[in-house]
Amino acid sequence: PDEDTTSPARIVFLRDTPWQQALTAALRQAGKGRVIEVRPGTGYERHGEDRFTIDPSDTASHKRLFDALERDGVVWRDLLYLWCDTAAPDADLSARARWPLALARALGGREDKSRLWFVTRGAQQLPGDTAIAVEAAPLAALAPCQRCR
């Protein structure tokens, strides 16, 4: 079959919250490809082979990240977007709506077959939930549209 012979990387857009760090560490321990960490900052900067900072609201900053990874020959499968966690200390509308739009614009037109995972807290009601996080609604509306592209 058309199986990829390389171990695809996972790109994790994270902050420094304990659960996000634990998830990233678990992915790394699983040993199924590289785990590339991307944190929000004021612009694009590379801090090592697998650590980056980008301006989350800037589409060009996202594109620089993807271009750098492609130049390095990195093949990725999953993009885990954890920046929209409404429990994060600096969560705001930008993290839940504007930043994902910049990411979607940067991914637009790419030929890769990566999967984009928006990880939210309370954006959609699950069995047993008593409330929904209304502030996460913009992202819940964007995710299905991105999948259709």
Would you call 56 exposed, middle or buried from its count of C-beta atoms within 10 A (0-12, 13-18, 19+)?
A: buried
The confidence score (pLDDT) of residue 46 equals 97
SS3 128: coil
63 CB-side CA count, 13 A:
10
Q: What is the pLDDT of residues 89-146, one digit of tens each?
A: 455 566 667 788 888 888 887 776 778 888 776 666 678 877 766 666 666 666 554 4
Question: What pTM value is reported for the model?
Answer: 0.80
